[in-house]
Amino acid sequence: MHRLLLLGSLWLLAAPPASSIFQRPTGSPAPPRLQYLLEPLHAVVHTQRGATATLPCVLRALPRNYRVKWSKVEPANYRESIIIITNGLYHKNYGPLSPRVRLRHSHRYDASLTITDVALEDEGRYRCQLVNGLEDESVSLTLHLEGIVFPYQPSNGRYKFNYHEAKRACEQQDSRLATYQQLYKAWTEGLDWCNAGWILDGTVHYPIINSREPCGGRLLLPGVRTYGARDKQKDRFDAFCFTSALQGQVYFIRGHLNFKEAGQACHNHGATIAKVGQLYSAWKFSQLDRCDGGWLADGSVRYPITTPRERCGGLPDPGVRSFGFPSKELRTYGTYCYVGK
């Protein structure tokens, strides 16, 4: 019998006696044993945007007649998308991933999936399924992109996006809507934001480190607070976007430029004015550190700080600071440009 323990103000579930920890509940079916597929040594594969990643799937034996089917689990619409099917001799690719996937096939038992030029939308859960008559079995793996989550709202203020507008806004800023796992990880790394925002599965959340009155009150514990699933057409919130490593460079051009002149200055250098996601990526992965506010493609003015100091906003933590969306006619700031490799 489990026991409830009171620790401070928290109720905790006490562990069962040691003798019962490994006992299977009466009547509970044993997990199916894999006969042909090897259990992957690591269920999570870590990578970055632009890299090549391989999801392992290896057979211990070859059935007489079989197929291996790779698919991607799509949490936003509760379905699986087929990527590739092989019978060991021939294979066929499917869907938008088709041009960038292949079977590694380093030996006759190897059905591992290799993805080249990894994109933001490639993150997620994949399934390698052995189709063998009545003895089908599968293993699941997760492709995890190293990256950064940032909150985003448009120039006309907070809580203006329905789900579809939030999704499009992130994509326009070289990012995509974050998953819950990405938002949770960002919270563990210090993301503290009082405005609620959409994430990829259509739910709405906000991450709080320091409990305070405007953010649900001081009595609520820190955490990723949730509004749950909302109406994707009618309800309006901000967005939590996710981006990963750049295949290019972000740099700053000094000057007293209005927004149009900022775009032209980047164009004159063979570059484009940087997007918000590109600036966050340069801050995260290239340690871009500048005390100068600069125009970005959405009309906002921001600057990245990796080494906090008194004369650069005075805040104690690293981050991308924002001046909001000043008048585009204002000639006060330089510009951040992006050039691809």
DSSP per-residue letters across 165-206: HHHHHHHHTT-EEPPHHHHHHHHHTT----S-EE-TTSEEEE
Within this chain, do residues 188 and 198 fall inside the same structural domain, yes or no?
A: yes
The predicted pLDDT at position 224 comes to 95
Domain boundary among 224, 243, 262: 243
Within this chain, do residues 136 and 117 fall inside the same structural domain, yes or no?
A: yes
Within this chain, do residues 65 and 154 fall inside the same structural domain, yes or no?
A: no
Within this chain, do residues 328 and 271 fall inside the same structural domain, yes or no?
A: yes
The predicted pLDDT at position 27 comes to 52
In a domain, 125, yes or no: yes
Which residues 6+ apart lie within 8 Å of 207 measured at CB?
A: 183, 184, 186, 187, 191, 192, 193, 223, 224, 225
Domain count, the chain: 3
The predicted pLDDT at position 30 comes to 52
Which residues form the domain of 178? 147-243
CA dist., res. 280 & res. 248, Å (int): 13
In a domain, 29, yes or no: no
The predicted pLDDT at position 34 comes to 82
The predicted pLDDT at position 32 comes to 61
Domain boundary among 243, 260, 290: 243
Residues of the chain with pLDDT under 50: 1-26, 28
Quickly count: other Cβ atoms within 10 Å of residue 181's Cβ.
Answer: 15
Within this chain, do residues 50 and 126 fall inside the same structural domain, yes or no?
A: yes
Count Cα neighbours of 122 within 13 Å in the Cβ-side half-sphere. Answer: 30
Residue 206: give its domain's CATH number: 3.10.100.10
Residue 71: give its domain's CATH number: 2.60.40.10
Within this chain, do residues 198 and 210 fall inside the same structural domain, yes or no?
A: yes
In a domain, 265, yes or no: yes
Within this chain, do residues 154 and 73 fall inside the same structural domain, yes or no?
A: no
Within this chain, do residues 234 and 181 fall inside the same structural domain, yes or no?
A: yes
**Total-model pTM:** 0.84
Domain boundary among 115, 145, 175: 145
